[in-house]
Amino acid sequence: MGTQKHIIDREKVTSSEIVGYREQQSFIYSDSIIPSPQELEEYKKQDPDFPKFFMEMAKEEQQHRFKIKDDIVKLQERELKLESRNEIWGYVFAILSLLLVVGLILVGFYFSYPWISAVVGAVGLSAIVSSFVKGRKYSSRN
């Protein structure tokens, strides 16, 4: 059913140092369900309904391919929505955790425990910063 072509392009290459040939080979393959006109005539000789059958099959295959492409587009749209929702929730939790750390620091200072405020501040802020750095590295890989 499909057609296949083998193309060889050869040209002489010369420069001040090199003399030779450059060869490029190409293979072209068509996987169409519709046969070539010559093959279609052969099928028509055997059964006059074969061309109609092939045209129906081509239409069905085209409809199937369109459906698959539509499904792929829908999945990609859904994935983008989920990614944006995850980013928004990440920002919300980052702000909440930042507010919690700042609140704990202020409570420590209020009750005259500056060393607790320093420890909570150092650990909390470093955890928030590291989660942002990890998040950026993860999003840059995708």
Give the pTM: 0.47
Q: Residue with structure tokens 């700042």?
A: 102
The confidence score (pLDDT) of residue 4 equals 60
Q: Lowest mean pLDDT of 14-18, 24-28, 121-125, 138-142, name the range.
A: 138-142
DSSP, res 25 = E
Q: Is the pLDDT of residue 24 over 80?
A: no
The confidence score (pLDDT) of residue 3 equals 57
Q: 47 is in which domain, residue-wise?
A: 3-141
Phi-psi region of 27 (alpha: psi -120 to 50; beta: other; left: phi over 0): beta
The confidence score (pLDDT) of residue 127 equals 83
Q: How many Cα atoms occupy the beta-carbon half-sphere of 82 within 13 Å?
A: 6
What is the total count of domains within the chain?
1
How large is the average pLDDT for residues 20-43? 72
Q: Which residue type sits at 140? A: S
The confidence score (pLDDT) of residue 70 equals 92
For residues 40 and 91, what is the distance between their CA atoms, to the nearest angstrom? Answer: 62
Q: Lowest mean pLDDT of 36-50, 51-65, 124-138, name the range.
A: 124-138
